[in-house]
Structure 1
């Protein structure tokens, strides 16, 4: 029996607030990597080399994602979803706050980038276990016919975290004295995390455990080694889910990280202009993702996801043609459409991926799919886009990268049938033992 709708809405809202805080923590690093870290932590490099090194530390966070996903997935399926959400929030919050306190390269030399990488790894581990827990808390408490809608609430935390991080950096760059932002002002954005984490913990400690997990625990069906069982029982689902999960984060990080760097370094637009564009785009992003979650319930998760992937392939080349005009309205239009493609995929994605796995394996299975997709799509995309543009001197190479990644996810999900997409329909028939004579 599902929980009453008001309680389900409370859990969904708590998941949204928590993921917004976690993504704020994650994305302020991305913005700082493009605007500050090159000079503060990698001053010995050239401008291009320093930018690449800073983005490489951004990508390092994705390496730890599968580790966080595996560890928290194991305990999320063994102990419960709620406890892992608290752990992930604490790891992320402490790491982010400490980044705001690291001395620069000028003060402690090579230890500065080393500490930066270590704390970035901690951030990655925290967010690696966050996604599946927040998603499952929302979906497993949702009414059966509204799981796509409720599942998209944690996804809304991504554009909301982007909006919040961009807004904080915009205010800091606008109102601090000249030069203050680069020397010490950027630290404020990281230190604010300490306050946000307290808010998030208060909210998460008040919500109840997932209804579906409580039922599994009550019937004694908890697996001792859920990840191993996921590989044994659902190997095709792990493959399909992981590849399908590549495109959406690739588009998200293209907009939130690479475009800020590209707009300021290549198009020579003011930092504030690019930040305002991303803020405006993020508002549309939130609305579009919510609509996609509703569409996932009405038209089907797979069908909605496919529409988003096709849009990404089609828009990959026109997008940069508009961006390269340096016209703010055209850049805004270009990024709204590509984030629409992201939203249409990401909205139904939580329900799409989690429903591939039975409840007792769901945290481990969904978490691994999402983190692998994020490493390949989100972690490498800004780095590859920067390297490709430097190598070929044209955005055609970057557009080809985006179209190729989107086609890959489309090819993974398009042939998937119900036996792959819906775990509860794959439950084996009970064995009937004939009565003895």
Structure 2
């Protein structure tokens, strides 16, 4: 049967096309790794463009009635909403997974993620539509978080389950490469327009481009991931109940303690995450005379170093063990937290050192954070347990970090940032210790 004219591809059509391609040959571990990296990078890109815009765009566009500091705090408050919506999205999309399948769940989630991010590109300012501009931004941000909760596909677990015993740290770091890649792309786009446009043109249209391209990036990532989900290997794991979406109520009843402890294990890494990516941009903008465009380039260099350290974390974790590696990283972050205020107040040289050292520590710790969370669960609970625990970790450790750090800095001084980061490191060390006790007790 043939048709004429234009047709809009449905989620089922896209999933069918992916299955047609994947059925032609066996998917290699390298292709799984690439699909995981592309997926994580696209998700990180969507969140980072919003975070950067919270400093460069939204205070002037959406909150022009407020002072720059207050407008940025308002923007960071909206930034945090996605991390509140994320676990809700995970719970609801897990039900979609059980009823309609993982391909349908992932397609809906990524279309919503890309669509809500791209919609921000057309956001009118407060001067045009008043308070409705704020309301629209809140809705789009909540949609981002809700969609990201549904974007969990289990591919990282599939990669881990296929990892050789002696190389689990290496395989665990592969998905984590997506975050620095997403930050590099988002920062590079903003830096290009910020450095090459006038302030008027940048606020008028230049900032919209990174949001506009998000939909295309997410469609590419969607197809790459559906092609893997449609493979026989993935279907076999799903059917054997190794990656089954169990009910959240059932998981919490039997593995509630593991979820809670697991949420605190990567806290040092997640607290550091936005303290070297999003918060420093606001600090430079509000409390220094340094060029924001030049600072974004410095952060890109830091993100490249972070990417290299993510890879290095896989080597180190395989040599000394993941738990010991995370403990050493948390201790290093605790030391770094003491130096943080002095570095930020030490001018360009100190701030650059803060970015480079901070990104390096982030790469080493973040490279093994998710693997540590997933390892707490048996195969049957791994899919739901990893998704929910990761959501809670991001909410507790990273979701409010820019807002809290900027508020503390403006109220109590820059030294308070070090206290905040130090508390995250302590939580990780305590969680690692308690996690070991659970295992020794056979829980």
After TM superposition, the score normalised by the length of structure 1 is 0.89
2:99 and 2:408 map into 1 onto residues whose CA distance is: 43
Matched, 1:414 2:433: yes
Cα deviation digits, residues 113-168 of structure 1 (max 9, x gap): 10101110111122233356342243234344433322222211111111111100
Q: Distance in 2 between matches of 1:41 and 1:380?
A: 20
Report the CA distance between 1:8 and its aligned residue.
1.3
User: Residue 359 in 1 paired to residue 376 in 2?
Assistant: no
Q: What is the correspondence of 1:119-198 to structure 2 with a 5 Å cutoff? A: 119-131=140-152, 133-198=154-219
User: Which runs of no fewer than 5 residues in structure 1 stay unpaired?
Assistant: 427-437
Structure 1, residues 319-376: CA drift from partner, whole Å, max 9, x if none? 2312211124x32222222223322222122221112112222121111111111112
In the alignment, which residue of structure 2 is the partner of 1:52?
73
1:398 aligned onto 2:417: yes
CA distance in 1, matches of 2:86, 2:236: 28
Shift of 1:417: 2.2
Instruction: Evaluate the alpha carbon distance shift between residue 177 and residue 96 of structure 1 in structure 2; reply closer, same or farther with a 3 A threshold.
Output: same
* Greater CA drift, 336-345 or 46-55: 336-345
The one-character-per-residue Cα deviations of 1:371-400 (angstroms, maximum 9, x if unpaired) are 1111121111111111111111x2111111
Contact 2:305 / 2:356 at 8 angstroms: preserved in 1?
yes
Alpha-carbon distance change, 343 to 131 in structure 1, aligned in 2, over 3 angstroms? farther
> More displaced, 149-158 or 80-89?
80-89
Aligned CA distance change for structure 1 residues 277 and 223 (closer, same or farther; 3 Å): closer
SS class of match (1:12): helix
- 1:369 matched residue in structure 2: 389
**Matched position secondary structure for 2:434:** coil
Distance 1:297 1:5 in 2: 28
The alpha-carbon distance between structure 1 residues 279 and 220, as it changes in their structure 2 partners (threshold 3 A), is closer
- Residue correspondence of structure 1 range 34-73 to structure 2 within 5 A: 34-73=55-94
CA RMSD across the alignment: 2.6
TM-score by length of 2: 0.87
Residues 224 and 192 of structure 1: is their aligned pair in 2 closer, same or farther, counting only changes over 3 Å? Answer: closer
Equivalent residue for 2:139?
118
How far apart are the structure 2 equivalents of 1:254 and 1:327? 17
Q: CA, structure 1 residues 416+38, in 2 after alignment: closer, same or farther (shift >3 Å)?
A: same
Q: Does the CA-based 8 Å contact 1:77-1:361 persist in structure 2? A: no
Question: 1:74 and 1:99 mapped to 2: Cα distance?
Answer: 28
Query: For structure 2, which runs of at least 5 residues remain unmatched after alignment?
Result: 1-24
2:4 counterpart residue number: none
Partner of 1:25: 46
Distance in 2 of aligned mates of 1:294 and 1:212: 27
The 1-side partners of 2:57 and 2:245 are apart by: 45
Q: Is the 8 A contact 2:45 2:185 kept in 1?
A: yes
Q: After superposition, what is the alpha-carbon deviation per residue over 1:49-106, rounded to whole angstroms, capped at 9, x for unaligned? A: 1111011111111111111222334555777655544443222111100011111111
- Note the 1:218-257 alignment, pairs <5 A: 218-219=239-240, 225-257=246-278
Please give the alpha-carbon distance, in whole angstroms, between the structure 2 residues aligned to 1:14 and 1:282. Answer: 21
In the alignment, which residue of structure 2 is the partner of 1:433? none
Change (3 A) 1:406 1:38: same
* Bigger mean CA deviation after superposition, 72-81 or 34-43: 72-81
CA pair 137-91 structure 1, distance change in 2 beyond 3 A: farther
Q: Is the 8 A contact 1:213 1:360 kept in 2?
A: no
Q: Bigger CA drift: 202-211 or 292-301?
A: 202-211
Q: Figure out how many residues of one structure are paired with residues of the other and give that number.
A: 419
- Given the alignment of the two structures, is residue 106 of structure 1 paired with residue 127 of structure 2, yes or no? yes
Q: Summarize the alignment of residues 328-343 of structure 1 with structure 2, pairs less than 5 Å apart.
A: 328=349, 330-343=350-363
